[in-house]
């Protein structure tokens, strides 16, 4: 055998040996990396792939909250992507979440209660697939008129033009309940306008009053007070006389402090509903638990205050405040883990 043949055989042997080594290394690497490939699968089991969060009108408090939470949850919960969707407000969110069109939403406690028992205005359907997750903030009623308008008390609104919020909004629903109790609803010229448009309409004398059902200070009331001399009417006394608070026990009384708005240098007696974070019955308990754990962490609460100052009302201690309907299984697990007691009404799933 000559030298060239020897070299050729040696080269073939080297190639064969290298192939054997590469094959062995590949098998070893495949064996060590296989468990890592299972991690995304385990993470995705925490929740569904894509969730919808139904918020509120553009520029409204609901929309700030829902958008802020959607962004945070998408970033922090593995395998979950949450998209924010604008809506007319509380009542539309209730219907969307109940039908499964949306997974999360913000709904007033009163709407969850009345919807569950079939007592919504002009809607006797029951909405039993909507479960509360957490209290977010209180939403007090504001009834704004111009100084010098001759409207000094609620009863003076008879025959007047009043904007009550967008059609299908929680504000409009609360206004209809309140003014119907007082016998005024059919005696006023009611317009369904969003808050910002209503503030402008008041300044242009297109309406005589407007109703806001939102946390204070509210930007649209600030807008109206900056451009006009306004008054905010007390709404508690008339409500008590009409039995309004007996018929709707989920409303609680409060005071809007003097100085909250320009020119309003007196306390205003009002009442509030509670804005709740809700989830559909179909949403996995693990997703709800993980979402609450993230948003109600120290970092999550600080983030929410940056999103909207109204979120200062959020806390672990008040997580179940204002909830008079069943909570989601995942929420029950979370709040019990935080040491909160679940009431009989909250457990009635």
Sorted by where each begins, the domain ranges of the chain are 47-137+275-347, 139-273
With beta carbons less than 8 A apart as the criterion, state whether 70 and 83 touch. Answer: yes
With beta carbons less than 8 A apart as the criterion, state whether 254 and 169 touch. Answer: no
Two domains, one topology: 47-137+275-347 and 139-273: yes
CATH topology of domain 139-273: D-Maltodextrin-Binding Protein; domain 2 (3.40.190)
* Res 290: pLDDT: 97
In sequence order, what are the residues at sequence separation of 6 or more whose Cβ sits closer than 8 angstroms to the Cβ of residue 113?
A: 250, 324, 325
* Res 26: pLDDT: 41
E strands, 90-197, where? 104-108, 130-146, 161-163, 189-191
* Res 249: pLDDT: 82
pTM comes to 0.72
Buried b (16+ CB within 10 A) or exposed e, 126-157: ebeebbbbbbbbbbbbbbbbbeebebeebebb
With beta carbons less than 8 A apart as the criterion, state whether 329 and 288 touch. Answer: yes
Q: Give the integer Cα–Cα distance in Å for 72 and 39.
A: 21
* Res 48: pLDDT: 56
* Res 149: pLDDT: 97
Pairing of strands 50-54, 81-85: parallel
> Strand pairing partners for 81?
50
Question: What is the architecture of the domain spanning 47-137+275-347?
Answer: 3-Layer(aba) Sandwich (3.40)
What would you report as the CA-atom Rg of the chain, rounded to the nearest whole angstrom? 28
Q: How many CB atoms lie within 10 A of CB 308?
A: 18
Could you read off the pLDDT tens digit of each residue along the chain, which spans 349 residues? 444 444 434 443 444 444 443 344 443 333 333 333 323 333 344 445 799 999 998 878 899 999 999 999 999 999 999 999 999 889 999 999 999 999 999 999 999 999 999 999 889 999 999 999 999 999 899 999 999 999 999 999 999 999 999 987 889 989 999 999 999 999 999 999 999 999 999 999 999 999 999 888 898 999 999 999 999 999 999 999 999 999 998 898 999 999 999 999 999 999 999 999 999 999 999 999 999 999 999 999 999 999 998 899 999 999 999 999 999 999 999 999 999 999 999 998 8
Q: How many CB atoms lie within 10 A of CB 288?
A: 27
């Amino acid at each position: 055998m000559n030298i060239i043949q020897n070299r050729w055989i040696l080269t073939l042997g080297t190639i064969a040996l290298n192939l054997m080594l590469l094959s062995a290394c590949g098998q070893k690497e495949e064996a060590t990396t296989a468990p890592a490939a299972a991690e995304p699968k385990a993470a995705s089991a925490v929740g569904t792939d894509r969730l919808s969060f139904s918020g509120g009108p553009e520029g409204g408090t609901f929309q700030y909250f829902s958008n802020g939470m959607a962004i945070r949850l998408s970033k922090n919960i593995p395998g979950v992507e949450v998209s924010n969707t604008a809506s007319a407000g509380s009542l539309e969110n209730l219907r969307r979440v109940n039908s499964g069109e949306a997974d999360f939403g913000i709904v007033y406690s009163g709407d969850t209660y009345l919807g569950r028992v079939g007592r919504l205005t002009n809607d006797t359907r029951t909405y039993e697939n909507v479960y509360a997750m957490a209290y977010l903030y209180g939403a007090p009623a504001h009834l704004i008129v111009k100084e010098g308008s001759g409207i000094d008390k609620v009863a003076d609104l008879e025959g007047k033009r009043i904007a009550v919020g967008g059609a299908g909004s929680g504000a409009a629903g609360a206004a209809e309940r309140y003014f119907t109790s007082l016998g005024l609803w059919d005696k006023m010229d009611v317009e369904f306008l969003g808050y910002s448009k209503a503030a402008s309409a008041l300044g242009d004398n297109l309406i005589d009053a407007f109703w806001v059902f939102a946390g204070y200070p509210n930007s649209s009331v600030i807008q109206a007070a900056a451009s006009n001399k306004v008054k905010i009417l007390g709404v508690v006394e008339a409500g008590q006389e009409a039995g309004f608070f007996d018929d709707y026990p989920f409303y609680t009384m409060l005071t809007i402090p003097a100085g909250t708005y320009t020119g309003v240098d007196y306390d205003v007696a009002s009442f509030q509903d509670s804005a709740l974070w809700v989830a559909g019955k179909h949403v996995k308990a693990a997703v709800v638990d993980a979402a609450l754990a993230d948003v109600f962490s120290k970092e999550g609460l600080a983030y929410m205050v940056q999103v909207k100052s109204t979120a200062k009302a959020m806390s672990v201690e008040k997580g179940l405040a204002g909830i008079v309907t069943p909570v989601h299984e995942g929420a029950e697990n979370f709040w019990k883990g935080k040491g909160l007691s679940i009431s009989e009404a909250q457990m009635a799933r």
